[in-house]
Structure 1
């Protein structure tokens, strides 16, 4: 009897061991993508490294900013502008794991004092989110997609930059492991000038804006109704504008990517060429420790030279360097105006090992790089080791704009904005034009990811006009447009407005230094498409003549002539693209049809 029992027990143990062996073998033989949904045939329009696929979770939820993915895979998105009901949060659930959203609900009951909502993070069971002026939280409940509890106010901005304007008012948020919340308060101007953005206006010294802006403040993540003045602690200073910010768990430290200053050619045309203004100054990648001083507004980073240089508003001559013992140098400098709008350190296990603990950055895309192609509009990656970049920055996901050359921001079909990692290690990406969300997955074998994939990424980095450094001559988009525009202007416009654009002084208005030309582009396009009649006042003088419609011109020709008048006669406004003309033409046609 005892022998038979031992024999049975032995057989049972053997059966269990065989089952475990087969299970382990099956697991080892499976690729990491076996339990992941299928990617879209075209990866949702994205270019990705070898072995990666993307599925569009949802095509359009509204102008999306940041997002957060919960432990159960639910997705939460912050919209830039609330809907008509005042709701600016979106909850998304995929119930059958096919990668596509099955439930999309807009919710939120909170006061929004601005239209620049951005932050969205999950911390200690709460969904934290921000508007232009507030940071809120609401409790997440197990198995419930939409939180049902009260929305609590954590921090309210008292708008101390109101006297200077409302620039750089976004409120990204990050949390450490000790119960602290970090919030940037961006600069209320470009570079702390006495007269903001006025050519030749010098910088104020010491910069008074640094008392309440141009830095990062720390708060209690669990305390309600805090204000910057009463409860905030200035953790770091000299940081102009931050939208991309994240707490690096591996290093237990805060990291940010700063937006650099604007329009150096327009402000200091004798010192900076249009090309220099397009690629400088750098977007700076900082590790931010307590007491960090990034140097704004006195210095900017020139990534081409690898130097911190004094701004011309403070006597800089492109040579005077900062003392690295007095201010913090960036870990890395990216080309100017990429507009880094989210930062994520990859903590998942799905991707190849080289991505582990590295930094993904969503470059929302420039608006002021003219006369060169707009740049950014992709997701980049920076490999990390020991808390610092271990190699140059790379391309990871591109193709959002669906264009080879982006003349103006409005031409881009999508602009990558927010980043988050799901519980299975998938990377989620939002964009801000329509609100499309991608889920990026690795389907290959990790050991197969190597140099061939990296070479393709490097080729894209060096060839795509939205990523590479522009050639000063070949990539100047206005060279051809200005030549064509001048011919069209002289043929159709100069008789009235004169070849010098100054008009005749009595019947036909000037095109020089007037908001009618350098201001709202849509209004200017409409004038050429529809014509104009009736009295108008230009530079204090009233005119009353008929401006005939020029809708017989092609979109390209209209874009060229409008670019010509906006860039000539002493005007210095940005270009008009054929895509912008087409959109206005379509909207006018649709209005007439209705």
Structure 2
């Protein structure tokens, strides 16, 4: 459960703040391993017994109750779908026995999964396969490269019909940034598939401090948008689709709203404002900005990536620093489409579902539930998100502030590093009776949430307890000074690590368990120093195995660091984080930089 329910400072989590620069002293953190969240992790047994906890350990509005259908699932969970019989289909985060999907069944109606089947032997390139949707008698799902479907037949637990490729991504490599392929369907036989931008902000080289963005950005030709395809035609390539929208960086969740017959998506905003442009942004601004954007996608919309980002504090689309922005300039961004809402930065909205059921009180009908997987890169401030949020809609428009619908997944507060969060909500599905199903990535737990109260009297009183949770540090806007978790000034390798490495690999060196590998207790750090120097200077992209886990992401090049900085950094990590290896000298770095082998 939450270990500290005291608010560190006042402030509304969704509120806009006056546009201003706030100077924060002591931006760099101590790299001492912080144990605030470790207690939650250490207390876990081999099986997490959520089924023995009230509401499966979750906090919900009064009148709702939750039950853990399964505590852990081999392969863990990305997205889920529920059929008319209540069977739960899972797009796995990790391949299990060469299978990419699972199906779960409660055979005796007691609310616990009794039978699990695995299926889906198809090429998988890392952990970013995303989609799992049921449409017109078919189960649709995706790898990073391909959207597939299989027929669902009565009486079958594991789908046995032929697996068809519906949309195939022709771009290479299949393992690249923002390659996930969520899907949605309209009411005219179309399927929507995004092709995410393969970079943070169209820099060359990628993620390099001070480097301008390429203008015009050539990545916008094959990437950075949503395409529309026929939902029933097999083996379509990108060129067979119609580009619906552009200027979109990364999508993990999409849904069709039948009320206004429009596609909605939730976009991950760009990263690294202070790391890339510390002359314009401080750590507090970089933690909060830019917004995660709630987009209404219609034909021809252009949301401005990579040239612009949305600042939810100012309520403006601003020019990106790679294109001359400084956190205030609007410039060309007045020409691009705005989101319908900006969520707090780095919250990672990974699924969206419009509620069409009848079970929940009327205020939830036609509104949008959003799974916020939670931030990894808000240091030196607490990580944030890790909730199921709700945006009420009326007549196809947001009609109220964003609400916290389900909380308690992380089980700690503050969340110092992403790895401190015990559970991270990832996916949402609505069952045939109107119940909500929620899947999470860290253990593969799945909850079923039902309303058992009085729908006729449901109102503000039933929401009060969830409103109070908005004061917790993983939800509210952090105070620039009071919420700085460790304002210690660092030097040498510790300073370089904090400035350029800790965002991904985390303060404790443990990574985030999904996208970013650990540098703690690994032969990649303590082994061949020449390989480590080359990796630091040149970066890498693609698959890598670290401590028995597979990762597929981008390690940016750091050739902009001096020989002294690289030597200090690598000596620091080789001597710490559970590693015990010899240091790296400036001469070692100089020789590798100059091509010595």
Instruction: State the match for 2:485 in structure 1.
Output: 477
Instruction: State the match for 1:216 in structure 2.
Output: 226
- Show CA shifts across 1:524-557 (max 9, x none): 64399xx9899889869xxxxxxxxxxxxxxxxx
Match of 2:150 among 138, 160, 178: 138
TM-score (norm 2): 0.75
Task: Give yes or no for the alignment of 1:174 onto 2:168.
Answer: no
Matches within 5 A, 1:48-197: 48-61=60-73, 62-84=75-97, 86-160=98-172, 166-197=176-207
Instruction: State the match for 2:208 in structure 1.
Output: 198
When Rg is computed on C-alpha atoms for both structures, the one with the higher figure is 1
Local SS of the residue matching 1:234? strand
Greater helix percent: which structure?
1
Q: More relative contact order in 1 or in 2 (CA 8 Å, sep 6+)?
A: 2
Match of 2:521 among 517, 526, 538: 526
Change beyond 3 A, Cα 1:316–1:83? same
Local SS of the residue matching 2:302? coil
Local SS of the residue matching 1:82? strand
- Show CA shifts across 1:462-505 (max 9, x none): x11111111111111122xx37xx7xxxxxxxxxxxx8569xxx
Q: Which consecutive unaligned segments of at least 5 residues does structure 2 have?
A: 1-49, 511-517, 535-563, 581-597
Local SS of the residue matching 1:245? strand
How far off is 1:102 after superposition? 1.5
Change beyond 3 A, Cα 1:154–1:262? same
Change beyond 3 A, Cα 1:172–1:251? same
Local SS of the residue matching 1:478? coil
Local SS of the residue matching 2:95? coil
Local SS of the residue matching 2:214? coil
- Show CA shifts across 1:106-127 (max 9, x none): 1123232443211000011000
Match of 1:417 among 415, 426, 432: 426
For these two proteins, the number of residue pairs brought into alignment is 484
The answer to whether the Cα contact below 8 Å between 1:516 and 1:524 also exists between their aligned partners in 2 is: no
Instruction: State the match for 1:242 in structure 2.
Output: 251
d(CA) in 2 for partners of 1:386, 1:262: 34
Task: Give yes or no for the alignment of 1:226 onto 2:236.
Answer: yes
d(CA) in 1 for partners of 2:249, 2:504: 27
d(CA) in 1 for partners of 2:300, 2:498: 48
RMSD: 3.2
- Show CA shifts across 1:251-301 (max 9, x none): 211000100000100000010010000000000101101111111111110
How far off is 1:409 after superposition? 1.2
The answer to whether the Cα contact below 8 Å between 1:40 and 1:54 also exists between their aligned partners in 2 is: no
Instruction: State the match for 2:472 in structure 1.
Output: 464
How far off is 1:304 after superposition? 0.6
Instruction: State the match for 2:45 in structure 1.
Output: none
d(CA) in 1 for partners of 2:282, 2:338: 25
How far off is 1:104 after superposition? 1.1
d(CA) in 1 for partners of 2:126, 2:532: 33
d(CA) in 1 for partners of 2:529, 2:221: 48
TM-score (norm 1): 0.76
Match of 2:402 among 393, 402, 422: 393
The answer to whether the Cα contact below 8 Å between 1:501 and 1:511 also exists between their aligned partners in 2 is: yes
